[in-house]
Structure 1
Amino acid sequence: MKINKFLYGAVFFMGLLTACDNDRDILLEEALEKAGNNRTELEQVLAHYAGDSIKLEAAKFLIRNLPGHYSYADTSELIPYYDAVDSLLVVMGDSTDKWVVRDSLVSLNRKFADLHARRVQDVKIVTASFLMQNIDSAFVQWRDGPWARHLDFEQFCEYLLPYKAEELQPIDDWRTRLRRFHPDHLDELAYCDLYRNSALQAAITLNSNLWYYMHPGITEENIMKPVYRWHTRLRIPVGTCSEYTSAAVSIFRSQGIPVAMDFTPQWAFRSLGHSWNVLLAEDGKRIPFSGVTSNPGQPHKLGERMPKVFRRTYSMNPELKLLLQREKYVPEVFREPFLKDVTEEYMQCGNICLEVSKEFNRRYAYLMVFNDREWVPVDFAQVSNRQVFFDKVGMNTVYLVACYDGEGILLPLSAPFLFSYGGQLRPIVADTLHKTNLVLYRKYPVLPHVQEIIMRIDSGEFQASCDVNFKKHVLIHRVTDCSATGKEIMVPDTLGRYRYWRYFQPKSGSYCNIADIRFYERGANRPIFGKIIGTDGHWDGNPDGTKEKVFDGDLLTFFDAPLSFGAWVGMDFGRPVELERIIYTGRGDGNSIDIGDIYELFYWDSQGWVSLGRKNATNIRLTYRNVPGGGLYLLRDLTKGKNERIFTYENGRQVWW
């Protein structure tokens, strides 16, 4: 069966070569010409495999796609930096908290801020011996290894054959070196008939090893210059999802496990993008996972909307190649042409077709989403007959179509629009003739990590007493609304005067988490203060979580009591007082309206954001009157913070996009 498979593959691909030989020969000759003085090295590879049609085609695949791949011209320039990272890791040791190490690495990087090693195209430097060794090793993994026999030739070329998994990766013996990096228990799979040839089980085993030994710390942003020396890189305890998944591709391929790297340039609902790995399993399924952090088959970012998904490839995307040749300015995400659109592997997609004006004179347009600060591209398309067509697009997302001038200035071509489920396109256009009022409680949507902690305010009670121990007290309000916004309690004028006022939490697992309380005496516009009273101490894991944090005016600090339930916090005003209202905010993310901060509201017109004015927040809500209705809005906090998200206003509430 094994021999027949490869004979069939040879016949099939020789036929395929005959059908498109002219195009492929052109690409091959282009690569040989770009090699310059290195052409003889590449021709030596072709001559070496002249008698083996399948390996010859594999060699041609690598050479055709060499242009555009880069390495450092002189890695010795980087050695002082790599050595400095090594020394720091040795000094700090494995017992040092990884986030302390992170801070030290950030400081170290400042010393190498001027380090800029020269890059060179691989086609000009790769040697015949290296390519041949790589090809032969990859074929052994494919033909004789246990976890790649299910790949066809095209899959083999993309998932195992490439001599590198990422740009600027050193041209070295990584297959041999990384094969020894924690392969614990992989050989034991041979004793199980079900797992002997299971790429899935091999991936789970290897990734579990990586997690156990590397203990990854995920950061959202790059904190340091990339490290490509393997024995240094694999010891760094923190990194982005992209850094871990890039390393995982090489580690997995060194074992002959077919893995690639997928990414979305930008989430559809919040800031940043994301990268992860994908396994081509023995049953043909593409199974996503996070290299070093979560295994194939485990839930991965469920429910997170993505506008587009791309796979990093070794082969060049001809459409991207054309884009780079034609356009003076290309956004960064599309400057490397080694991407493949795989959006339809992850979600139900739709197609978007829009007309552009007669005045539009550019060849390409971009599909944009908002990243909390600005519109960023997630797809590109050629403009033909005044139409632009984007295919395989994620739905239930707000998009904008735009282009760039030669200097990289964004030029909108459409109004923002909602591409809803079912493929319906709904323009979002502010109506300046029909005004409305907006009442705003937040500047950013409530994400899962916030929803989990805001529930700790459920069942909390506001009480008043003339007894410091609250043996006798009156119940003013019990919390039933756990939405992540500030709340206002209006105290009945019949309640009377009390010296002691508090927040009490009887619910188990709450730890009396609350971020902010403000007491207002009747007839006063400012909060009044007394002596802070309540449960002393804090939860052991949060030494800053004392009761005093409830009255520091900071929504990001909170009381984290030492008791799971029964803790409380309040004020002794030194005299009986009559309160008019109580304003409070539960533990959250600091993105609800913060009293004292200055905000500015914008709406999008045909060319950009238009200000609707600044307001100083005097309550837990902002009211903007006579606002153009039906538009796309953005609320910015000019005092602090960076999380700000576009929204529409529907049925009296903010709807986030």
Structure 2
Amino acid sequence: MRRYILFAAIACGMIFSACNRTHDTLLEEALEMAGENRTELEKVLAHYAEDSLKLEAAKYLIRHMPGHYSQADTTLLIPYYDAVDSLLTAMKDTTDKWVVRDSLVALSRRFGQVPTPKVQDVKIVTADFLIQNIDSAFVQWREGLWTRHLDFEDFCEYLLPYKVEELQPLDDWRTHLRSFHPDHLDELAYCDLYRNSALQAGIKLNDNLWYYMKPGITDETILQPVYRWRTRLRLPIGTCADYGAIATSVFRSQGIPVVMDFTPQWAFRSLGHSWNVLLAEDGKRMPLSGVCSNPGQPHKLGERMPKVFRRTYAMHPELRRMLQNEEYVPDVFRNPFIKDVTEEYMDCRDAIVHTTEGKEGHYAFLTVFDNKEWVPVDFARMEDGKVIFHKVGMNTVYLPVCYEKGGKMKPLAPPFLFAYGGKVRPVVADPTHRADLVLWRKYPVLPHVQEVIMRIDSGEFQASNDARFKEKTLLHRVTDCSATGKEILLSDTVRPYRYWRFYQPKEGSYCNIADIRFYERGSHKPVKGKIIGTDGHWEGNPEGTKDKVFDDDLLTFFDAPLSAGAWVGMDFGGPTDLERIVYTARGNGNTIDIGDTYELFYWNGLEWTSLGKQEAANIYLRFRNVPTGGLYWLRDLSKGKEERIFTYEQGRQVWW
């Protein structure tokens, strides 16, 4: 037993020594890279020569400083920042933040891209700045109410860094932001359960930020970046990454341990997402949406992610190696200050891809589809004819690729479904077996659509020769609320009527319907008359009048002033014989739209191949003689941007 303990101690010592040698190498490389600024960094090391823990913190910051950048001349940005401040002051009484947003976008475009050269922090950080930052962080750690549970490693990751994001000004942000609405934080000290609770402090502070900032979330960056804090904190809009950076900075200024996590790309739709994570006093890592939703509240529940990374101050060693050796690296991995934390969020497995393509020892990338293209979400080296992508999210379709000179993507193997249990199932079209595909949508039904399509439930299509519908014939009652267009075929026993309508008796429906088309018997052509129905609109939607049902636009809809009992229809001027009614519930316009031109593609192993174009004559498309078992992509060439890949199984589209 003693021999085992001795061996373990020696082994640990060897590992520690190896780590120190690696760290010392990184430290020396950083000092050499500093050039003329080396003396400033050495002053910091000398300053802490008698304090081993602060010295190690200083070494940590200096070792990983190369690759972090700041603005070389922040004065170039002052006119733009001042103009933003002036605009926000002039529009302070404007209640609609989206009107303010439009003005900010116009202002940003007028200024254009301000030329601001970047410089590595290692070449400009001063001794005074770094010492002040280290001392301030240590005061928060040793004396703060919400940091007592942090060990040194957590301290370095959650609290110590002198900046939160690249190009952040090298200023005394901790002191400046500490006074940004810390309302009621001090009251936690009077509760024995909460006085040392980082979780409760985070909830309180995030509530404050939400109350004072009233965040408006945009999907993509639409302004030139604003890094000056007194200006930035006044902006009424931002991306999830913007608010995450603000929350991280404000939280850390109060000594609340927070980091930022992100997924490069959702597994089931466009874009990626960023959010915050708070390290609670019990060791739990609690996700939150900075300035928006609190730790412990539901955050993007059920939304599949292929990978999750944490933004760090320290450089990822494998990314460092890749950036040094690869000719081309995709944008998402050009920032080496991240680490993989996928397993903190989901059950994940290693995905093994066998390939004869690519170059041994070079890097492969795992991609998912982003409505228009394949987007990299993970990386691994190719060795012995295979690639092992570690800790990958399941129930997602991936395409393994490499990048050739100039950044051209090259598939390494067929796309595959990484099924539950970690099984790799290639998705390969079979040109020897063909079938017809009947398609109803180009994009999956997401929760925000499902919530509104239910408002058509129990609606009734009625006909009458009485303008007040005292005597009427019930033609159809809606029971199928799937988000596709619907067709009502009318028996030839249904006699001609002058008035035809959609009536909605269900409470809370507001007679929401997007589109109705009446087709005349015999001519088979759409017929229109005078629009009749409930006048007005729901007070929050002045565009939601009854005429929107007949404007041939699936994105507009009737939003009646009555919760129940409203109706919309047509007066044809005399009895009219109809053969069918086509209707579409309120939605997002991604059902098949009559008159639009569509094109279907399948993945042929190397690229997307067209299976032809069609102009939609009905609420569905039929593509004939299609290779079976493949991965497909339906595009609307007339309008829109939301499109998604799918397989075709048992007569229906399965979205990925």
What TM bracket, shorter-length normalisation?
over 0.9
Alignment of 1:251-400 (within 5 A): 251-357=250-356, 360=359, 363-400=362-399
Residue 449 (structure 2) pairs with residue 420 (structure 1): no
**Residue pair 2:484, 2:584 contacting (<8 A) in 1 also:** yes
- CA offsets per residue over residues 270-325 of structure 1, 9 Å max, x none? 01100000001111110000010000000000000000000000001000000100
Deviations 1:514-567 (A, max 9, x none): 000000010223210101001111111111111000000000000000100111
Distance 2:95 2:406 in 1: 46
d(CA) in 2 for partners of 1:328 and 1:107?
38
Shift of 1:15: 9.6
Matched AA of 2:587: G
State the match for 1:559 in structure 2: 558
Letter in 1 for 2:297: Q
Aligned to 2:407: 408
Distance 1:358 1:601 in 2: 28
| CA–CA separation in structure 2 for the residues paired with 1:368 and 1:362 | 19
Residue 194 of structure 1 corresponds to which residue in structure 2? 193
Q: Which position in structure 2 is the counterpart of 1:237?
A: 236
In the alignment, is the contact (CA less than 8 A) between 2:357 and 2:412 conserved in 1? no
Aligned partners of 1:359 and 1:124: how far apart in 2? 38
The 1:575–1:446 alpha-carbon spacing in structure 2 relative to 1, beyond 3 Å, is same
Tell me how far 1:226 sits from its aligned partner: 0.9
Give 1:584's aligned amino acid: Y
Q: Write the deviation string for residues 335-376 of structure 1: whole angstroms up to 9, x where unpaired.
A: 110001000000000101111115646701000000101000
The one-letter code matched in structure 2 to 1:161 is: L
Write the letter of the residue equivalent to 2:450: Q
How far is the alpha carbon of 1:113 from its aligned partner? 1.3
Which residue identity lines up with residue 106 of structure 1 in the other structure?
A: V
Aligned residue for 1:61, secondary structure, equals helix
Question: Which blocks of at least 5 consecutive residues in structure 2 are unaligned?
Answer: 1-11
> 1: CA distance between counterparts of 2:233 and 2:601?
45
Q: Is the 8 A contact 2:358 2:412 kept in 1?
A: no
Partner amino acid for 1:52? Answer: D
- The whole-number CA distance in structure 1 between the counterparts of 2:39 and 2:16 is 24
Deviation at 1:18, TM superposition (A): 3.9
Shift of 1:405: 1.0
Q: Secondary structure at the match of 1:511?
A: coil
Q: What secondary structure does 1:20 align onto?
A: helix
Report the counterpart of residue 581 of structure 2 in structure 1. Answer: 582
Q: Conserved in 1, the CA contact under 8 Å of 2:442 and 2:635?
A: yes
1:132 counterpart = 2:131: yes
Choose 384-393 or 301-310, whichever is displaced more. Answer: 384-393
3-state SS of 1:117 partner: coil
Stretch deviating more after TM superposition (358-367 or 490-499): 358-367
Task: Specify the alignment match of 1:504 in structure 2.
Answer: 503
Deviation at 1:95, TM superposition (A): 3.5
Task: Please tell me whether the aligned partners of residues 358 and 402 of structure 2 are also in contact (alpha carbons under 8 angstroms).
Answer: no
Which shows bigger deviation, 103-112 or 31-40?
103-112
Q: Does the residue aligned with 1:142 lie in a helix, a strand or coil?
A: helix
CA contact (8 A) 2:213 2:233 kept: yes
C-alpha distance in structure 1 between counterparts of 2:196 and 2:113, whole Å: 48
Residue of structure 2 in register with 1:644 after alignment: 643
Q: Which residue of 1 aligns with 2:617?
A: 618
> 2 CA distance for matches of 1:592 and 1:95?
37
The residue type equivalent to 2:315 in the other structure is M
Q: Which residue of 2 aligns with 1:26?
A: 25
- Structure 2 CA distance, aligned partners of 1:634 and 1:152? 50
One-letter amino acid of the structure 2 residue matched with residue 429 of structure 1 = V
Give the 4+ runs in structure 1 shifted more than 3 A. Answer: 13-19, 358-362
Bigger mean CA deviation after superposition, 378-387 or 59-68: 378-387
Distance across 1 between alignment mates of 2:375 and 2:218: 21
Q: Distance in 1 between matches of 2:168 and 2:370?
A: 29
| Cα RMSD (Å) | 1.2
Stretch of structure 1 that moved more, 361-370 or 564-573? 361-370
Which residue number in structure 1 is paired with residue 456 of structure 2? Answer: 457
Percentage identity across paired residues of the two chains: 72
Cα distance in 2 for partners of 1:359, 1:454 equals: 47
Go from structure 1 to structure 2 and tell me whether the alpha carbon gap of 1:389 and 1:14 turns closer, same or farther (over 3 Å shift).
closer
Choose 47-56 or 105-114, whichever is displaced more.
Answer: 105-114
Structure 2 residue 123 is matched with structure 1 residue 121: no
Question: Is 1:145 matched up with 2:159?
Answer: no
Quick one: distance in 2 between partners of 1:213 and 1:22?
A: 48
Match of 1:482 in 2: 481
Measured after TM superposition, the shift of residue 116 of structure 1 is 2.1
Aligned-partner Cα distance in 1 for 2:603–2:456: 36
Aligned equivalent of 2:6: none
Question: Aligned-pair distance for 1:387?
Answer: 1.3
Structure 1 residues 120-151: Cα deviation after superposition (integer angstroms, max 9, x where no partner): 00000000000000001101111110101101
Matched with 1:225 is: 224
**SS of residue in 2 equivalent to 1:423:** coil
- Output the CA distance in 2 between the equivalents of 1:249 and 1:587: 39
| Alignment correspondent of 1:63 | 62
Q: How does 1:65-84 map to 2 (within 5 A)?
A: 65-84=64-83
Shift, 1:96, TM fit: 3.2
Deviation at 1:21, TM superposition (A): 1.9
Aligned residues: 645
SS at match of 2:249: helix
- 2:183 maps to which residue? 184
Give how far 1:406 is off. Answer: 1.9
Distance in structure 1 (CA, Å) of the matches to 2:85 and 2:357: 59
TM-superposed CA distance for 1:186, in Å, is 0.7
* Equivalent-residue separation in structure 1 for 2:352 and 2:436 (angstroms): 34
The structural deviation recorded for 1:94 is: 4.3
Distance 1:597 1:358, change over 3 A: closer
Is residue 514–residue 553 contact of structure 2 (8 Å, CA) maintained in 1? yes
SS at the partner of 2:406? Answer: coil
Aligned partner letter, 1:397: T
Under a length normalisation based on structure 2, what TM-score does the superposition of the two structures give?
0.97
Amino acid at match of 1:315: A
Distance 1:28 1:100 in 2: 50
Q: In structure 1, what residue type is equivalent to 2:222?
A: I
Name the SS of the counterpart of 1:407 in structure 2: helix
User: What CA distance in whole angstroms lies between the structure 2 residues aligned with 1:274 and 1:216?
Assistant: 16
Structure 1 residue 112: Cα displacement: 1.5
2-structure distance, mates of 1:53, 1:174: 26
Does the alignment pair 1:434 with 2:467? no
User: C-alpha separation between the residues in 1 aligned to 2:13 and 2:88?
Assistant: 52
Q: Which runs of 5+ in 1 are unaligned?
A: 1-12
Partner amino acid for 1:152?
D
**Counterparts of 2:283 and 2:422 in 1: how far apart (Å)?**
29
Aligned partners of 1:418, 1:441: CA distance in 2, in Å?
23
Residue 159 of structure 2 contacts residue 255 of structure 2 at CA under 8 Å; is this kept in 1? yes
Q: Distance in 1 between matches of 2:236 and 2:469?
A: 50
Summarize deviations over 1:609-639 as a string: whole Å, max 9, x none.
Answer: 0000000000000001110001000000000
CA distance in 1, matches of 2:291, 2:156: 24
